[in-house]
């Protein structure tokens, strides 16, 4: 697997090198290109300083911090239930998924376990956030490569998912619904049937994307063999989620060593792709939306009855200790390292967000590519700026 990826990498570099020789003969000029910080397709404000030699990237240096909100400092003066309000804003397209690892870490320190029904509701909302998040990616990557239509389909169909999240939690984007010991409310009447209808729509959206984007010749030419990340390099940079699975690493925390959620009771599959290029990253995410639909469908059929809240004290004080809990969020692995000293507020919270590690590979992967490929690589790595800047 690794050898195959590095063979691809080598042949890619070889081609690039032969092209570079041509460039020398044509007397190219060096220039510095500023990508960003403002661009409608970047999900926030990211600036990348790209040094070019002709059409080729010599070095790329991302500049972050335009949106840094200091959540790690703020959590030190917020009580545990208040922290979920903050962390909702980290990955704002899949907000509910941000709350889950924090609540699970606090629950581990308090030695509380949520009742079965609460865990099923959590998993359902967790997967719905993934669908809402990744559906937008499926349209957004196409628009960054010049195909405008898919992004409108994506916004249209994502709205149905957000409606379902809103009707349970009251919040379209920032549910703030997960609680230590369970969830805030039970599901509303008629929600299960409505959600099933939405899943049908999302499945047909996936079919549409498969026809419109994946089968598109221009899309394939611009993504196949572009931005290859070998598995061992990806792991050493801390790439996670679909980015590492599209490099052939069969590793998904929902299946391997996940805590607190009920993915192990569902029938689903972890998709991987051996290529590790931009196309693979798109393709793997497309399959993941389908798997998430499958999972939500099974949850809707099998959700047990019972209480939605374990017995927890009214004012939550977390016993002293340290805990690290990570979950497989839409963008990759997200974890919270909580240090508690038995107070109302955490002593320190380290937020391990997925995009921060996913983007840290850009200086490596962008070296030597052509200018248009910069866009397709950045789009396929799929980051949310709130998830980088925290």
Partner 1 sequence: MSSPDTNAEEIVEESTEPQEELIVDDKREAFVDSITQDLGSSFIDSHIDPEIDVWIRVTQEAWSETAKILFEKHGMNFFNFLSAIDWKPSPFGREMDAAIDNLDDEVTVETEMEWGVAGGEKRFQMLARVHNPATDMGVNVKADLEGDFPEVDTWTLVYPGANWHEREVMEMFGISFKNHPNMVNLYLPTEFEGHPLRKDFPLLSRRAKPWPGIVDVELMPGESDDETEESGEET
Site for partner 1 in 344-373 (CB under 8 A): 344-345, 348, 350, 352, 356-357, 360-361, 364
Asked if 17 touches partner 1 (CB under 8 A), the answer is no
Binning the chain into helix, strand and coil, the percentages to the nearest 5 are 50, 15, 35
* Residues β-bridged to residue 47: 63
Output the six-digit token pair for 16.
């690039």
Output the six-digit token pair for 63.
């500049």
Query: Looking at 19, 185, 208, 210, which residue binds partner 1 (CB under 8 A)?
Result: 185
Query: Looking at 70, 170, 215, 372, which residue binds partner 1 (CB under 8 A)?
Result: 70
Cis peptide before 37 (omega within 30 of 0): yes
Shortest distance (Å) from residue 379 CB to partner 1: 20
- Return the residues of window 217-256 that contact partner 1 according to CB under 8 A: 232-233, 235-240, 249, 251, 256
Tell me the chain's radius of gyration from C-alpha atoms: 21
Query: What is d(CA 131, CA 136) in angstroms, rounded to the nearest whole number?
Result: 8
Our CB check for partner 1 shows the closer of 239 and 262 to be: 239
Query: What is d(CA 44, CA 69) in angstroms, rounded to the nearest whole number?
Result: 13
Asked if 290 touches partner 1 (CB under 8 A), the answer is no
Asked if 341 touches partner 1 (CB under 8 A), the answer is yes
Query: Is the Cβ–Cβ distance between 318 and 342 less than 8 Å?
Result: yes
Query: Looking at 260, 335, 346, 386, which residue binds partner 1 (CB under 8 A)?
Result: 335
Query: What is d(CA 80, CA 74) in angstroms, rounded to the nearest whole number?
Result: 11
Our CB check for partner 1 shows the closer of 39 and 255 to be: 255
Q: Which residue stretch of 88-96, 162-170, 273-281, 331-339 sits at the interface with partner 1 (rule: CB under 8 A)?
A: 331-339
The DSSP code for 40 is T
Output the six-digit token pair for 164.
């379902």
Q: Which residue stretch of 32-40, 202-210, 288-296, 302-310 sits at the interface with partner 1 (rule: CB under 8 A)?
A: 302-310
Q: Mask: binding to partner 1, 260-289, rule CB under 8 A, as x and -?
A: ------------------------------
Our CB check for partner 1 shows the closer of 191 and 370 to be: 191
- Return the residues of window 117-156 that contact partner 1 according to CB under 8 A: 117
Our CB check for partner 1 shows the closer of 150 and 276 to be: 276
* Closest residue by Cα to residue 50 from 372, 379, 385: 372
Shortest distance (Å) from residue 273 CB to partner 1: 17
Q: Which residue stretch of 108-116, 138-146, 216-224, 378-386 sits at the interface with partner 1 (rule: CB under 8 A)?
A: 108-116
Shortest distance (Å) from residue 212 CB to partner 1: 34
* Closest residue by Cα to residue 83 from 348, 342, 327: 348
Asked if 314 touches partner 1 (CB under 8 A), the answer is yes
Please name the residue that has the structure tokens 């931005």. 227
The DSSP code for 342 is S
Asked if 3 touches partner 1 (CB under 8 A), the answer is no
Our CB check for partner 1 shows the closer of 13 and 309 to be: 309
Query: Is the Cβ–Cβ distance between 139 and 154 less than 8 Å?
Result: yes
Query: Looking at 20, 49, 270, 339, which residue binds partner 1 (CB under 8 A)?
Result: 339
Output the six-digit token pair for 176.
């703030």
The DSSP code for 298 is H
Backbone dihedral angles phi then psi of residue 58, each to the nearest 5 degrees = -90, -45
Query: Is the Cβ–Cβ distance between 91 and 353 less than 8 Å?
Result: yes
Shortest distance (Å) from residue 258 CB to partner 1: 10
- Return the residues of window 29-68 that contact partner 1 according to CB under 8 A: 64-65, 68
Shortest distance (Å) from residue 218 CB to partner 1: 33
Output the six-digit token pair for 236.
């050493």
Query: Looking at 19, 166, 186, 208, which residue binds partner 1 (CB under 8 A)?
Result: 186
Query: What is d(CA 65, CA 366) in angstroms, rounded to the nearest whole number?
Result: 20
């Amino acid at each position: 697997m690794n050898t195959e990826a590095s063979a691809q990498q080598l042949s890619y570099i070889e081609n690039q090198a032969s092209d570079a020789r041509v460039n020398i003969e044509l007397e190219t000029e060096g220039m510095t290109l500023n990508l960003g910080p403002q661009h409608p397709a970047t999900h926030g404000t990211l600036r990348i300083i790209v040094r070019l030699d002709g059409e080729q990237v010599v070095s790329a240096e991302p500049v972050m911090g335009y949106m840094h909100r200091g959540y790690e400092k703020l959590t030190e003066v917020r009580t545990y239930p208040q922290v979920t309000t903050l962390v909702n804003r980290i990955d704002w397209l899949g907000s509910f998924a941000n709350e889950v690892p924090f609540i699970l870490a606090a629950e581990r320190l308090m030695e509380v376990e949520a009742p079965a029904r609460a865990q099923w509701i959590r998993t359902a909302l967790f997967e719905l956030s993934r669908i809402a998040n990744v559906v937008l990616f499926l349209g957004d990557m196409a628009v960054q490569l010049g195909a405008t239509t898919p992004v409108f389909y994506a916004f249209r169909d994502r709205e149905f998912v957000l409606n379902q999240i809103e009707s349970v939690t009251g919040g379209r984007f920032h549910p703030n619904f997960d609680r230590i010991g369970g969830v805030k409310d039970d599901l509303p009447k008629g929600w299960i049937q409505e959600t099933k209808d939405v899943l049908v729509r999302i499945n047909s959206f996936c079919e549409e994307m498969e026809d419109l984007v994946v089968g598109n010749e221009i899309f394939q030419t611009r993504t196949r063999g572009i931005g290859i990340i070998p598995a061992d390099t990806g792991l050493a940079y801390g790439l996670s989620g679909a980015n590492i699975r599209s490099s052939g690493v069969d590793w998904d925390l929902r299946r391997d060593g996940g805590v607190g959620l009920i993915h192990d009771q569902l029938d689903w599959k972890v998709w991987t792709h051996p290529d590790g290029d931009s196309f693979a990253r798109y393709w793997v995410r497309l399959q993941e939306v389908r798997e998430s639909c499958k999972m939500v469908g099974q949850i809707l059929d099998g959700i047990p009855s019972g209480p939605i809240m374990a017995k927890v004290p009214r004012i939550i004080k977390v016993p002293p200790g340290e805990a690290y809990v990570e979950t497989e969020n839409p963008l990759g692995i997200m974890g919270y390292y909580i240090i508690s000293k038995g107070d109302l507020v955490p002593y320190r919270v380290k937020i391990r967000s997925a995009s921060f590690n996913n983007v840290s590979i850009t200086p490596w992967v962008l070296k030597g590519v052509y200018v248009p490929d910069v866009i397709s690589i950045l789009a396929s790595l799929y980051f949310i700026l709130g998830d980088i800047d925290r």
